[in-house]
Chains A and B, each alone.
Chain A
Amino acid sequence: MELIDLVHLYQKATSLEQRQKFGHDIAVAIRPALWNFLLHQDGPEQADDLCQETLKDIFKNLHMFHEETNGQFWSWCYHVARNKLIDHWRKQKANPTMTLDPEAFWRAVEASAQDNPLSNEDQLNAEYILELLAEAKPACCAYLWLRYIIGLDLSEMARMYNLSIDAIRMRINRCLDLAKVLIEKHP
């Protein structure tokens, strides 16, 4: 069942038991990616607490979500997570950061192979993308990670960086081009 179908079932549930069942399934589906999003933005110490706060906020406000696609739901969830991060940064008087951990990257790729073994092509793809992210400047790495790995849509990224959608699209494209050039220089 698609994630968005679960969301709609949750919203239409007519008893607390039904709602808690669908809520459990939604939490299981979204938690790993949200945790990773928070981890890469703020490190493992804070990710657990922030993730739990994010999940609570999502379920307190799910009645206000009225969109129709998985992508829109993911964007909405990341929007909630991002607001949690901003509050946290404000309290800590810290700046947004983005860390790329190659070991964690490979751990996740290997874990995915338990159900779906890695082909040679998959392995090369993963190596290429990791190299591309590692070669990119930190700001570019963050843009590319959020856009393509986390899967934020352009409008959400534009809000996040306080830029227009066109401006964020141009930055992402420029980052892609730069990273490709850097990889070609150091094959």
Chain B
Amino acid sequence: MADDQTELEEKFKKVADRLHRGWAKLYPPTEKDLAAVQEAIREHWEQEQQALELIKRGKQAATFQPPPPEPPEKKIDKDQSQQSNRHRKGHSY
């Protein structure tokens, strides 16, 4: 029984092979099909390139060095201005 089945499957396989070869001859892709495929590939390629670009930018942002702390002069300025404000406030009292 199992041998029968294997034999039958083998017959199917040979016929399937014939049919697939025949179909390839009878029904090759049309120009329209191939153009649609090329368009789908191009669209996907562009999406992929955009995604890669975003990833690249993301990596650049992650490795971006923060700006150095403000120079001390500015702090002094700030302190001075605060002091002068306090003085002014004091004067107003």
A 1-39 contacts with B by CB, 8 A? 16, 19-20, 23-24, 27-29, 31-33, 35-36
Is A109 on the interface with B (CB-CB < 8 A)?
yes
- In Å, the complex CA distance between A52 and B43 comes to 16
> Which stretch in B14-22, B58-66, B70-78, B81-89 binds the other chain?
B14-22
Is A112 on the interface with B (CB-CB < 8 A)?
yes
B11 touches A180 (CB 8 A): no
Is B8 on the interface with A (CB-CB < 8 A)?
yes
- In Å, the complex CA distance between A56 and B33 comes to 9
Residues on A with C-beta less than 8 A from B93 are: none
Tell me how many residues of A have a C-beta within 8 Å of chain B: 45
B18 touches A20 (CB 8 A): no
Tell me how many residues of B have a C-beta within 8 Å of chain A: 37
Is B67 on the interface with A (CB-CB < 8 A)?
no
- In Å, the complex CA distance between A111 and B18 comes to 9
Is A161 on the interface with B (CB-CB < 8 A)?
no
A36 touches B16 (CB 8 A): no
B36 touches A112 (CB 8 A): no
Of A48, A108, A180, the residue contacting B23 (CB under 8 A) is A108
A32 touches B28 (CB 8 A): yes
B18 touches A112 (CB 8 A): yes
- In Å, the complex CA distance between A109 and B24 comes to 11
- In Å, the complex CA distance between A31 and B48 comes to 25
Against A, the Cβ 8 Å flags (1 = close, 0 = not) of B23-50 are 1111111101110111111111100100
Offer 15 A-B interface pairs, CB within 8 angstroms, sorted by A: A16-B42, A20-B42, A23-B38, A24-B37, A28-B34, A32-B24, A33-B24, A55-B36, A107-B22, A111-B22, A111-B23, A111-B26, A125-B11, A129-B12, A151-B16
Q: Which residues of A contact B (CB under 8 A)?
A: 16, 19-20, 23-24, 27-29, 31-33, 35-36, 48, 51-52, 55-56, 59-60, 63, 105, 107-112, 114-116, 118, 122, 125-126, 128-129, 144, 148-151, 173, 176, 180
Since A28-B29, A32-B20, A129-B12 are in contact, a sample of 16 more A-B pairs with Cβ atoms closer than 8 Å, ordered by chain A residue number, is A29-B24, A32-B24, A32-B29, A33-B23, A35-B23, A51-B33, A55-B29, A59-B41, A59-B44, A63-B48, A108-B19, A112-B18, A112-B22, A125-B11, A148-B12, A149-B16
